[in-house]
A and B are shown apart, each in its own frame.
Chain A
Amino acid sequence: MTEPILRVNDLKVRFGTKRGVAHVINGISYELHPGETLAIVGESGSGKSVGVLALMGLLREPPATVEGSVLYRGQELIGLSSKEWRSIRGKGMAMIFQDPMTSLNPVRTVGYQLIEPMALHLGITGHEAREKAIELLDLVGIPSPEARIGDYPHQLSGGMRQRVMIAMGLACDPDILIADEATTALDVTIQAQITELVAELQERLGMAVIWITHDLGVVASIADRVHVMYGGLFMEKAAVDDLYETPRHPYTEGLLGSIPMPGSDRPEKLMTIPGLPPDPVFMPDGCPFSPRCPYSDGETCGKLVPEMRTMGDSHSAACHYPIKVTQ
């Protein structure tokens, strides 16, 4: 296997709040290889977004405290100076945000916002930058890019804006593109267009993608591997097909069970997971899912945080009582 481009080891993020310390990320480890798509899925508040913001050094410290190690091409990112961070943001890693309505500066033209990262990282300005910006807009499927380059964000629709965001992310040819709920705010047809676009661009440009989402449907269509996140920890890591076919963690099973499947022979009522995700200020002892878990033994589960254990070929889960595979 190739050398991973990104190696995250025991990443932890805490926030000092008025109510106490919020433990949002409690030690996650993963690797990302060049050209692959890793999906991180989880409910709202499971720490997905904070986890990737920490990767880019975009959390305000304080109130945040980031610990652990993030190796990008062998370079440790945690503890970098703001100048060193800037050289990585945009060029090494770029990010697309959830809501395209708010992630473009309303008083700057599309062209300005596309050219800015090029000017910052590649020193491309003037006519050359404009040409490249038009190329990028064309690449992300915006028709008549020459006309659109002078437009302001409010003149574009949501789907168009997200395309522009992607173009901005791609401006400096990053190794890693992080899509933080990039399709959540879009309607379903546009969602499909955007996921297809990213997949296509990934193939063409050979970058790695981290796709943060709570939508398992999106995951199935684009990801190579999936990490399931809950309470600031990974519950299960698997190749995408393995995860859908043989979930080993009760939480994954619950998530998959709560997706409506037309034409399936399931009972009509959708499954739900009782209870709420844990409050990061008052994290339960032991497995964070244990208070909601149907398989919890009420003993070990509530005391001991389960280790991530290998359950087969590149499949692992953090559970004391993983679900058995029924053949």
Chain B
Amino acid sequence: MSDSAATGKLAPKPESRAKETLKALFANRLAVAGLVVLVLLIFVGIFGKAIAPYGINEINIADRLKPPSAAHWFGTDDLGRDVLSRVVVAARVSLQVGFIAVGFSLVVGVPIGLVAGYFRKGIDSLLMRMMDILFSFPAILLAIAILAVLGPGLGNAMIAIGLVYTPIFARITRGSVLVVSEEVYIRAARSLGARDVRLIFRHILPNVLAPIIVQTTLSLAFAILSEAALSFLGLGVQPPNPAWGRMLSEGRNFFKQAPWMGIFPGVAILLTVMAFNFIGDGLRDALDPKQKSVIESRGRSA
């Protein structure tokens, strides 16, 4: 390594980490495709009601179970409602559930992981055993159990899904904190008089963000899938409001006469989940410090 600064010459200013990460992300075609889909989804989620050609509960018995046509692109359901309109409006619900549920897991799970990993000993055992208990149930079963206690409904479904994914964030955070809190720079910051709270939030948290960000995008996909499953089972969004899972469940009864009733919401779920997964994978590749250092050192030796 050359001491270019010592000789008075300034090295060209390297780019910041965020910029570098974004650049790597945009170089990944799948991730870009995922981002495009996500942006579209968010747009549809926000302006769904305005875009939808029909009202979501506009019943037209004369036009029931009609295949896709110029008037009804995605066909109509058993009550003659426009499937396209319902799929479009339901996008908001799915995204909402995804973001709020994962937000809940983040807000609860990350601090638990930080505290457990930093202080260790008793508090670590206590918190992580609690997380283990949550983790030991199959995710959807636990969500159903929580909904059985709280009662069905969209809000409760968000809480249930959020709780189910909390231990993942707690574990990922704790694992990284265990490593980072032993770093010399943490000891150095302490040696200059920083207190625990400052060390945890100002010094450790920014260093463990990468895996948390990746897990967030991946969890968004799972959360949306879970909401679909819960709505499919009748525990999430209540009729007559549309949700993809619910529409899938209703479409199942008419699968032979009107496959479009189930196919289009199914495709919507598939696209959304894949979009988040691609973004998540892309972010992981862009943020992975090991892979990064390999690339960097290759560049340097060349």
A contacts, CB < 8 Å to B: 56, 58, 82-83, 86-91, 94-95, 97-99, 102-108, 113, 116-117, 120-121, 141-144, 147-148, 152, 154-160, 165, 168-169, 171-172, 190
Contacts and interface: CB of A to CB of B under 8 A. Distances in A.
Interface stretch (B4-12, B63-71, B139-147): B4-12
Contacts of A169: 192
A147 B185 contact: no
A90 B17 contact: no
B196 to A, nearest CB: 8
Contacts of B188: 95, 97, 103-104, 165, 168
B49 interface: no
Contacts of A106: 185, 207
B193 A120 contact: yes
A89 B3 contact: no
Nearest to A171: B192
Contact of A157 (B1, B193, B207): B1
Given A158-B1, A160-B5, A107 B183 contact: no
Interface in B173-195: 183-195
Contacts of A172: 192-193
Interface string B1-42: 111111010110110110000000000000000000000000
Of B3, B5, B206, most buried by chain A (CB within 10 Å of CB) is B5
6 contacts: A86-B195, A97-B191, A116-B194, A152-B17, A159-B3, A165-B188
Given A99-B184, A159-B6, 7 more contacts: A89-B191, A89-B193, A90-B191, A90-B193, A94-B191, A108-B203, A147-B10
Given A155-B11, A158-B1, A160-B5, A107 B191 contact: no
Contact-residue bracket for chain B: 20 to 34
Among B6, B183, B186, B191: residue with most chain A CB under 10 A: B191
Contacts of B198: 120
Nearest to A118: B192
Contacts of A190: 3
A210 to B, nearest CB: 13
Contacts of A88: 193
Given A99-B184, A107-B206, A89 B6 contact: no
B3 A107 contact: no
Contacts of A98: 184
Most B CB contacts (10 A, CB to CB) among A98, A143, A190 go to: A143
Contacts of B1: 157-158
What 6 A-B pairs come out closest when comparing CB atoms? A90-B193, A90-B192, A117-B192, A89-B193, A107-B206, A103-B184
A89 B5 contact: no
A143 B8 contact: yes
Contacts of B6: 141, 143, 157, 159-160
A160 B3 contact: yes
A168 B189 CA distance: 9
A157 B5 contact: yes
A168 to B, nearest CB: 6
Interface string B218-234: 00000000000000000
Contacts of B207: 105-107
A104 B14 contact: no
Which one of B1, B189, B198 has the highest number of Cβ atoms from chain A below 10 Å of its Cβ?
B189
A121 B193 contact: yes
A82 B207 CA distance: 24
Contacts of B190: 58, 89
A133 B194 CA distance: 18
A99 B4 CA distance: 20
Contacts of A158: 1
A283 B294 CA distance: 44
Nearest to B7: A143
Contacts of A82: 195-196
Q: Which of A83, A87, A156 has the most CB of B within 10 A?
A: A156
A108 B206 contact: yes
A203 B292 CA distance: 43
Contacts of B187: 58, 97, 103
B61 to A, nearest CB: 61
A144 B10 contact: yes
B8 A89 contact: no
A102 B192 contact: no
Nearest to B14: A155
Contacts of B195: 82-83, 86
